[in-house]
Structure 1
Amino acid sequence: MTLALVMYKNTGFSNADIAFYTSWLYLPWVIKPLWAPVVDMFGTKRRWVVTLQTAIAVAFALVAFTTHLPAFFQASLAVLWLMAFSSATHDIAADGFYMLALPQKQQAAFVGVRSTFYRLANITGQGVLVALSGLLIRQTGDAHVAWAIIFALLAGFSPCWPLTTCSCCHVRPAMARCARPAAARPSSLPPSCRSSARRAS
């Protein structure tokens, strides 16, 4: 949400408005346990992950579109709130997916990889993109144009996420007793393992 703070500041909104309204963008992460059971009850983890990654990509494009609307502040906040909701729900599904898909020994390694890329994303969002926005504002003379370009770039890059998830994530039951040869059918698994595989795939 750092990008939202800088964007609103660059486009001339007051600190009071920015602080009050953007603070609501953190709410979905606070209350996500309220709808976490829905993610477990309906669909599979992979489907949730891919759908929400796609929703976030669309939200980036919509923010770029709103930068020249008369009600830019209200419209962009609404889209950003939906993006925050999608991101928080994605967190739930992704956590469940790796716990079901990876053996226990690999889960710790995955958490390390995920934490590393989370830090890299922070550096990119709070450093590289903010610096790029400043450069674009200097070149174009219009903060709205500059931020439209930033979010359009994010929207253009975002489709890589669901494509990667669809092509690279191979579900493997997490517990050793669920291990099976690649050729084995789900029907040959114990009922508890069959259920875990279905929820993740």
Structure 2
Amino acid sequence: MTLNLEKSTQKSLHPAYKFLLLSSLYTSQFLPSAFFFQALPIFLRQQGASLQVVGLLGLLTLPWMLKFLWAPLVDRYGSRRWGHYKSWIFVTQFLLALTLMGCASMDASNNAMGLFQGIFLMVTFAATQDIATDALAIRILAPHERGWGNGIQSAGRATGGILGGGVMLLVLNQMGWQVSVRILAGGVLLALVPLCFYQEPRRNVGAVRQGIGVKQAIANYLNTLLSFVQQSGMLIWLLFILLYVTGSSMAATMFRPLLVDLGLSMVEIGWMTGIVGSGAAIIGSLLAGVLIQPLGRQQSLILFGMMQAISVFALTLPAMGVRSPVILYGVSISEVFARSLANTALFTVMMDKSRTEMAGSDYTLQSSIFILGHHIGVPALSGFIANTLGYSGVFLIGFVISLISLWLVPHVVGKPNQKPGIGLT
């Protein structure tokens, strides 16, 4: 019955409305994150912070990596009246806006600890909203729509980067801290408008809850949490996710401090990485969404991953002292463009590997591994690597890791005429 409702929902919702709904939700959850994680590294470096401190800022994204721990709760509990995942999104989005208003009232220059605590809380709410949004996306997107659906997701991230990491940097420079963060809070609430018109089909979870003791509830939670990795071939798939994103992410983490060391101002970096770069990411994401279905999952991961590796290697040019604006814009745009292509293909296969009945938990576990490779693992240590080996050393290590991940693609995603033990093609 639930499966029939999902298929009916996939057919009844107009593609244009799916586009509007998902783009608004994904943009809003990355809007404040882009502001804090793109503005803070630049601000701290300009204040003389070490590369080690800049690199460790990624640890504030810890809730994104650990969100798989409470994803089973999001899958299991929700409002039947207002919509299971819809209710989660409304509550977490509202709390996110309240946290932003609290951050706006702080003196950012004299209360760094309070600001970091606020950011950590904000990331926790955004991560929980992401669990519900991903599950909602898996349920409303038919398999053949997942390519462009994940193009929307990646484009939403990039749009959040433009607005939060580019435009808001300019606003911060002109209007100050309080006004900037309050504008962010307003944008987060505005993104809820399309969700108001969505009628989520009811899920029959009430009967499951009745008559279950504490021990059985804990057993059900652990089963939901661990059953994904117990499937054949899933551990190597999770290793692939980690390697596929780590190389480019550690390079991107150190690219902004490199621009500061090359003498670029906050406004110049905001234009280059926040607006122009994120614009390239939007184009790359949407282009990947169009190409994934005709290319196939495996070919997309290989082709886009190769482009990603080459773009990481190109960052060695400014690391060797090349300061030409044409070169700087070129390598910045190509790196973000290629990374958006690769990530969109990766997200699509992650959806394929998620079981519909446990959509939030399965996708979130994979997403947590993505975050581990994107922010917390080697990228968090990239400042120490740069301090020892220089910026070129970081970029070359990222290039090698990217190449290693490509070797794993045929082992985790089969060709269309094959029937691999894991995943879809």
* Aligned length in residues: 166
1:27 matches 2:62: yes
> 4+ runs of 1 displaced by more than 6 Å?
none
Secondary structure at the counterpart of residue 62 of structure 2: helix
Which residue does the alignment assign to 1:135? 174
**How far 1:38 moved relative to its partner?**
1.2
Cα contact 2:86–2:200 (8 A) shared by 1: no
Cα contact 2:108–2:177 (8 A) shared by 1: no
In structure 1, C-alpha distance between the alignment counterparts of 2:153 and 2:108, rounded to whole Å: 35
**How far 1:8 moved relative to its partner?**
5.0
Which residue does the alignment assign to 1:90? 129
Which residue does the alignment assign to 1:60? 100
Cα contact 2:108–2:115 (8 A) shared by 1: no
Cα contact 2:104–2:181 (8 A) shared by 1: yes
- The answer for unaligned runs of 5 or more in structure 2 is 1-36, 79-83, 205-356, 361-425
Residue deviations 1:18-65, cap 9 Å, x none? Answer: 537633212111122121111111111111111111111111111101
Cα contact 1:103–1:172 (8 A) shared by 2: no
Residue deviations 1:84-143, cap 9 Å, x none? Answer: 11111111110101222344444433222222222121122222111222233xxxxxxx
1:14 matches 2:49: yes
In structure 2, relative to structure 1, the CA distance for the partners of 1:102 and 1:20 (3 Å cut) is: closer
In structure 1, C-alpha distance between the alignment counterparts of 2:163 and 2:108, rounded to whole Å: 25
Cα contact 1:63–1:76 (8 A) shared by 2: yes
Amino acid at match of 2:188: S
1:76 matches 2:115: yes
Amino acid at match of 2:190: C
In structure 2, relative to structure 1, the CA distance for the partners of 1:105 and 1:172 (3 Å cut) is: farther
Amino acid at match of 1:25: L
- The answer for unaligned runs of 5 or more in structure 1 is 137-145, 174-185, 188-195
Which residue does the alignment assign to 1:160? 190
Amino acid at match of 2:200: V
In structure 2, C-alpha distance between the alignment counterparts of 1:28 and 1:21, rounded to whole Å: 15
Amino acid at match of 2:85: K
Secondary structure at the counterpart of residue 50 of structure 1: helix
**How far 1:3 moved relative to its partner?**
2.8
In structure 1, C-alpha distance between the alignment counterparts of 2:48 and 2:121, rounded to whole Å: 21
1:48 matches 2:88: yes
Normalised by the size of structure 1, how large is the TM-score? Answer: 0.69
Cα contact 1:61–1:155 (8 A) shared by 2: yes
Identity of aligned residues (%): 22
Which residue does the alignment assign to 1:99? 138
Normalised by the size of structure 2, how large is the TM-score? Answer: 0.35
In structure 1, C-alpha distance between the alignment counterparts of 2:119 and 2:170, rounded to whole Å: 21
